[in-house]
Chain A
Amino acid sequence: MALRSCLIPFLQQLGDDVSYWGFFVEYAPKMASGAMTTAMVMGCSALLAAVISLIFGLMRLSQNWGVQAAATVYIEFFRGTSLLVQLYWIYYVLPLMGLTLSPFMSGVLALGLNFGAYGAEIVRGGVQSVPRGQWEAALALNMSPAQRMRRIIVPQTFTLILPPMANLTVELLKATALVALITVVDLMFVAKQINATTWLSAQVFGTALIIYYIMARFALIPFLRWLEVLAARKVGKA
Chain B
Amino acid sequence: MEWRWDFTFEILPRMLWATGNTLLAAGIGYLIALVVGLILMLGQRTPYRIVNFIVREVVEFIRSTPLLVQLFFVFFVAPQFGIKLTAWTSAMLTIGLHFGTYLSEVYRGALEGVPKAQWEACRALNFSTAYTYRRVVLPQAFPIALPGMGNYLVGIFKDTPLLATIGVAELMHTANALGAETYRYLEPYTMVGFIFLIISLPAAMGLRRLEAAVAKAQGKVKH
**How many angstroms from the CA of A170 to the CA of B165 in the assembled complex?**
22
A82 touching B64 in the complex, CB below 8 Å, given contacts A96-B1, A201-B73, A205-B76 = no
Nearest-Cβ distance from residue A190 to partner chain B, whole angstroms: 11
A77 touching B197 in the complex, CB below 8 Å, given contacts A188-B66, A201-B80, A212-B66 = yes
**How many angstroms from the CA of A88 to the CA of B175 in the assembled complex?**
11
**How many angstroms from the CA of A85 to the CA of B172 in the assembled complex?**
8
Count: A-B pairs, CB below 8 Å? 110
Q: Is A191 an interface residue, CB under 8 A from the partner?
A: yes
**How many angstroms from the CA of A207 to the CA of B204 in the assembled complex?**
37
**How many angstroms from the CA of A96 to the CA of B185 in the assembled complex?**
9
Q: Is B200 an interface residue, CB under 8 A from the partner?
A: yes
**How many angstroms from the CA of A79 to the CA of B157 in the assembled complex?**
12
**Chain B interface secondary structure, helix, strand, loop or mixed?**
helix
Q: Is A161 an interface residue, CB under 8 A from the partner?
A: no
Count, chain B residues at interface, CB 8 A = 37
- When C-beta atoms are compared, the residue in chain A nearest to B184 turns out to be A96
Find chain B residues with CB under 8 A from A23 CB. Answer: none
Find chain A residues with CB under 8 A from B159 CB. Answer: 82
| Interface contact A209-B185, CB-CB below 8 Å | no
| Interface contact B162-A178, CB-CB below 8 Å | yes
Name the segment of B41-49, B187-195, B211-219 touching the other chain.
B187-195
| Interface contact B68-A191, CB-CB below 8 Å | no
**How many angstroms from the CA of A83 to the CA of B68 in the assembled complex?**
12
**How many angstroms from the CA of A209 to the CA of B64 in the assembled complex?**
9
Find chain A residues with CB under 8 A from B68 CB. Answer: 177-178, 180-181, 188
Instruction: List residues 51-105 of chain A with CB under 8 A from any CB of chain B.
Output: 76-77, 79-86, 88-89, 92-93, 96-97
- When C-beta atoms are compared, the residue in chain A nearest to B202 turns out to be A80
Q: How large is the interface on A (under 10, 10 to 19, 20 to 34, 35 or more residues)?
A: 35 or more
Nearest-Cβ distance from residue A116 to partner chain B, whole angstroms: 16
A81 touching B200 in the complex, CB below 8 Å, given contacts A97-B1, A202-B77 = yes
A89 touching B162 in the complex, CB below 8 Å, given contacts A96-B186, A205-B72, A205-B73 = no
| Interface contact A88-B189, CB-CB below 8 Å | yes
Q: Is A185 an interface residue, CB under 8 A from the partner?
A: no
Find chain B residues with CB under 8 A from A24 CB. Answer: none
Find chain A residues with CB under 8 A from B76 CB. Answer: 195, 201, 205
**Extra A-B contacts (7), CB below 8 Å, given A84-B162, A92-B185:** A82-B161, A85-B189, A89-B193, A205-B77, A206-B73, A208-B69, A212-B64
